[in-house]
Amino acid sequence: MCGIIGYSGTANAVPKMMKGLSLLEYRGYDSVGLAAQVGDEVKLVKCKGRIGVLEEKLRDAPVEGSSCAIGHTRWATHGAPSDVNAHPHRVGGVTLVHNGIIENYKALAGALEAQGVVFASQTDTEVAAALIDACYRRTGDPVAAIRQATAHMRGAYAFGILFDGQKGRIYAVRRGSPLILAKGQDGYYIASDITALLPFTREYHAMDEGEIVCLSGQTATCYDEKGDTFTPVFQKTTLTPEAAQKGGYPHFMLKEIYEQPRAAAGCVSPRVNAAGLPDFSADGVDAAFLSGVRQVHIVACGSAVHAGYLGARFFEDIAGIPASVYIASEYRYHPPLSGEKTLVLVISQSGETADTLAALRYAKEKGLPTLAVVNAVETTIAREADRRVYTYAGPEIAVATTKGYCTQVAALWALAAAAGLANGHADADTARAVVKGLVEDAPAAMKTMLAQRDTFAAAAKGLADHEHVFYIGRGADYALAMEAALKLKEISYVHCEAYAAGELKHGTISLIEPGTPVLVLATDPALFEKTESNLREVRSRGAYVILLCREDAAVTADAADRVIRLPQTSPAATLFAALVAVQCIAYETAVFLGCDVDRPRNLAKSVTVE
Ligand code: AGP
């Protein structure tokens, strides 16, 4: 996600911007910039790349004598990382920085272009600046302009804004993306989070949805959503810079687990049309393209291929399209039979995984249409695929993926629904139900599970001192078991294997001995009885059984050592709730064992070697 900082006061603003931007680097970024009021001018300096590039530009052309400035680190969503797409953006008399996604930016851009606006960048942010400028020219009042412009915006935003003619003033507004107002000895600040401001102040006010603030020198005026002024309550943070970068969480992984409800909704909601149906046409994956797909080959690595196993089920169940899954490092050595109507769908959080990139290039050499589901924007895999769907999870810092995988599953589910709608295999009600499940039910269910995280800490203690742990399940539960097993072993170093519940008795059950932990995923009512019999097979041999099942599952008291009940609002609610549970079990086990949760031994966040 992007990072915002702003300052208006009596001190030199640019050094504060540079210090604050360096403290926002942890959020992940690909470009950086600042805008400073110098006299009646606004000096704007921005670039693709790291902060060092900006420092170099400022050394070559210093910006001095400013006490009012805004700064930004950009994690690209719309538009490649480039100098022109970097923030701040300036249109007319408005200069602004933005964190979030304006979902309806294309429609807004069209209306503005019809009024003669010419855009220099491919960003939704420049469109927002142009709209605010148009309103400012009409009203002459920054607060009125902000209120009018944001009333037309759909999506998430936090803006820091400089208006020409408003010397020494910064205006800020937020909806969907966090923003704080802070009070220092020598002026006022805004920032995406307190981390950027710790060298200057610890007193901050977390802005509410729709709140607008105007900071100037020694004063700050706050307007609530209705436009009435109010006196903000400032609180004092006790966070250290390192703790603050994790949003107060002990590890990035836990922070990213907690970001999943918002990430899942943020991934799918930009692909929901006014009728509440899945629509990926803005991604270049329209109904005409999807209706021509006769077969899907899903190719990926690690957690991404585990998402692919679920994705294959979605495409077959919802769209009636035969789908197969291939581990990327195997794909090109025994390429599957495929026709020109075969879509090769690659999945990659980082967009740079060498095995997956090699498979993508192989598919393209064979003339097969390719689609990439990727989190990191404008990365090699995203660029080289014929089409791409970004998961908009935001930067994932922990090596073990959580929100990256979560949003891959959400994107695949919505894509399958769009494909089913396109080829007529799914009706509108089915497709609409999938969207509702992903945008509403799943986030709510994940929050329900996160509220009971201490349950998972207790469960984790039963796993920590065992050499072998098993996850078993049938159908989609087996696919989820693969991810659950990887999560546990990659961060806690406890060996864990995922097994098709019905397959265990064909050999591997010989490894089950008294106390062996077996976690049973039994979320599908149609398969519950069969899976329960597999549970009894291991329990009768002394296994320590943790059962994850729906709230309404008929489970006798002695069926398992521990039962974790999952919301059943919809299939998506149950699946994503189970996902959060297994992620938290892995996390708590690793913490209990004192492992380096965010940087597990031997692992890299992006495996760029084959
Ligand atoms: C996930 O926790 C692992 N770190 C790893 O399996 C990862 O999913 C795999 O390397 C694929 O990475 P990608 O999604 O960036 O391509």
Which CATH number goes with the domain that contains 213?
Answer: 3.60.20.10
Cβ(8) – ligand 1 distance below 6 Å = no
Same domain, 435 and 485: no
Task: For 224-265, write each residue's pLDDT tens digit.
Answer: 999 999 999 998 987 777 777 787 899 999 999 999 999 999
Sheet strand arrangement including 180-184: 41-48, 31-38, 68-74, 3-9, 187-191, 180-184, 203-206, 235-236
Please name the helix (run of DSSP H) or strand (run of DSSP E) that holds residue 252, with its range, or none: helix 252-258
The whole-angstrom distance between residue 248's C-alpha and the CA centroid of its chain comes to 18
Are 326 and 405 in the same domain?
yes
* Rounded CA separation 363/385 (Å): 10
Residues 239 and 258 in one domain: no
Q: How far apart are CA 365 and CA 361, in angstroms?
A: 6
> Would the CB of 589 count as within 6 Å of ligand 1?
no
**Residues 228 and 264 reside in one and the same domain:** no
363 φ, ψ (degrees, to nearest 5): -60, -40
> Terminal CA-to-CA distance of the chain, rounded, Å?
29
Task: Give the per-residue pLDDT at 27.
Answer: 76
For tokens 């719309």, what's the residue? 78
Strand, helix or coil for residue 249: coil
Atom 3 in ligand 1: residue holding the nearest Cα: 400
CA–CA gap between residue 370 and residue 111 (Å, rounded): 33
Max alpha carbon distance in the chain (Å)?
80
Q: Best of 260, 347, 350 to mutate for ligand 1, by most ligand atoms within 8 A of CB?
A: 350
φ and ψ at residue 37, rounded to 5 degrees: -80, 120
Mutate to test the pocket of ligand 1, among 401, 405, 603 (most ligand atoms within 8 A of CB): 401
pLDDT of residue 464: 86
State how far Cα 448 lies from the chain centre. Answer: 19
- What span, in angstroms and rounded, lies between the C-alpha atoms of 192 and 181? 9
Q: 594 C-alpha vs ligand 1 centroid, how far in Å?
A: 23
Stretch (H or E) spanning 446: helix 442-450
CA separation for the pair 269, 109 (Å, rounded): 19
DSSP 8-state symbol, 599: S
Q: Is 516 helix (H, G, I), strand (E, B) or coil?
A: coil
- Number of neighbours of residue 382 by Cβ within 10 angstroms: 22
Ligand 1 centroid vs 355 CA: distance in angstroms?
Answer: 11
Q: Is the CB of 211 under 6 A from ligand 1?
A: no
> Taking a C-beta distance cutoff of 8 angstroms, is the pair 277, 416 a contact?
no
Which residues are identified as catalytic?
2, 605
- Residue 488: CB within 6 Å of ligand 1? no
Residue with tokens 């203690």: 461
3-state secondary structure 331-400: HCCCCCCCCCCEEEEEEECCCCCHHHHHHHHHHHHCCCCEEEEECCCCCHHHHHCCEEEECCCCCCCCCC
* Domain coverage including residue 275: 252-447
In a domain, 280, yes or no: yes
Structure tokens at 58: 């400022």
Instruction: Give me the pLDDT at residue 273, please.
Output: 94
The partner residues of 343 in beta bridges, in order of sequence, read 296
Is-contact 315 344, C-beta < 8 A? no
Question: For the chain, which ranges sit under pLDDT 70?
Answer: 608-609
Omega within 30 of 0 (cis) for the link into 88:
yes
User: Taking Cα atoms as reference points, which of 451, 447, 349, 446 lies closest to residue 401?
Assistant: 349
> What one-letter code names the amino acid at 18?
M
For residue 602, the CA-to-ligand 1 centroid distance in Å is 13
Task: Give me 603's structure tokens.
Answer: 């692992």
Q: In 176-211, where do the E strands start and end?
A: 180-184, 187-191, 203-206
State the Cα angle at 50 between 46 and 56, rounded to 5°: 65
CATH number of the structural domain spanning residue 457: 3.40.50.10490
Which two tokens mark 160?
């820091």
Are residues 473 and 418 located together in one domain of the fold?
A: no
Can you spell out the DSSP letters for 17-63?
HHHHHHHTGGG--SEEEEEEEETTEEEEEEEES-HHHHHHHHHHS--
Compute, in angstroms, the gap from residue 605 CA to the centroid of ligand 1: 7
User: In the sheet where 544-550 sits, what is the strand order?
Assistant: 495-500, 468-473, 517-522, 544-550, 562-566
Last residue of a domain, one of 447, 467, 491: 447
pLDDT of residue 345: 98
Q: CA–CA separation, 584 vs 599, rounded Å?
A: 17
In a domain, 585, yes or no: yes
**Burial (CB count <10 Å: 0-12, 13-18, 19+), residue 138:** exposed
Q: Which pair of structure tokens corresponds to residue 120?
A: 């220099």
The distance from CA 319 to its chain's CA centroid, rounded to whole angstroms, is 26
Given the CA of residue 350, which atom of ligand 1 is nearest to it? 15
What is the C-alpha to C-alpha distance for residues 73 and 3, in angstroms, rounded to an integer?
5
For 287, list phi and psi in degrees, rounded to 5: -60, -35
Contact 423, 321 (CB under 8 A): yes
323 & 423 share domain: yes
The type of residue at 251 is: H
User: For residue 438, what are the contacts with CB-CB under 8 A and spacing of at least 6?
Assistant: 264, 265, 267, 268, 410, 413, 414, 572
Instruction: Assess whether 203 and 280 both reside in one domain.
Output: no
Supply the residue whose CA is at minimum distance from atom 7 of ligand 1: 302
Residues 572 and 468 in one domain: yes
Distance, CA of 261 to CA of 443 (rounded, Å): 4
Does ligand 1 come within 6 angstroms of the Cβ of 400? yes
Q: Is residue 318 part of a domain?
A: yes
Pick from 526, 499, 519, 521: nearest CA to 510: 499
Mutate to test the pocket of ligand 1, among 353, 407, 496 (most ligand atoms within 8 A of CB): 353
Ligand 1, atom 16: nearest CA belongs to which residue? Answer: 348
Note whether 461 and 404 are same-domain residues: no
* Residue 187 bridge partners (DSSP): 9, 184
- Please indicate, yes or no, if residue 606 is contained in any of the structural domains: no
Specify whether 466 is located in the same domain as 512: yes
pLDDT score of 600: 87
The radius of gyration of the chain's CA atoms, rounded to the nearest angstrom, is: 25
Kindly state the tokens that stand for 462. Answer: 């039963």
> Mind giving me the DSSP string for 85-117?
TSSPEEETTEEEEEEEEETTHHHHHHHHHHTT-
Nearest-angstrom CA–CA distance, 428 and 438: 15
State how many domains the chain has: 3
Residue 608 lies in a domain: no
Predicted local distance difference test score (pLDDT) of residue 607: 73
Domain end, chosen from 214, 244, 274, is at: 244
Neighbours of 583 (CB within 10 A): 30
In a domain, 178, yes or no: yes
Domain boundary among 396, 426, 447: 447
Tens of pLDDT along 505-535?
Answer: 898 899 999 999 999 999 999 999 999 999 9
Q: Express each pLDDT in 2-27 by its tens digit.
A: 899 999 999 999 999 999 999 988 77
| Same domain? 192 vs 299 | no
Give domain status of residue 569, yes or no. yes
Is 240 found in the same domain as 96?
yes
Ligand 1 center–CA 563 separation, angstroms: 30
- Whether residue 405 lies inside any domain: the answer is yes
- The reply to whether ligand 1 has any atom less than 6 angstroms from the CB of 407 is no
Query: Nearest to residue 296, comparing CAs of 310, 282, 275, 283?
Result: 310
pTM over 0.85: no
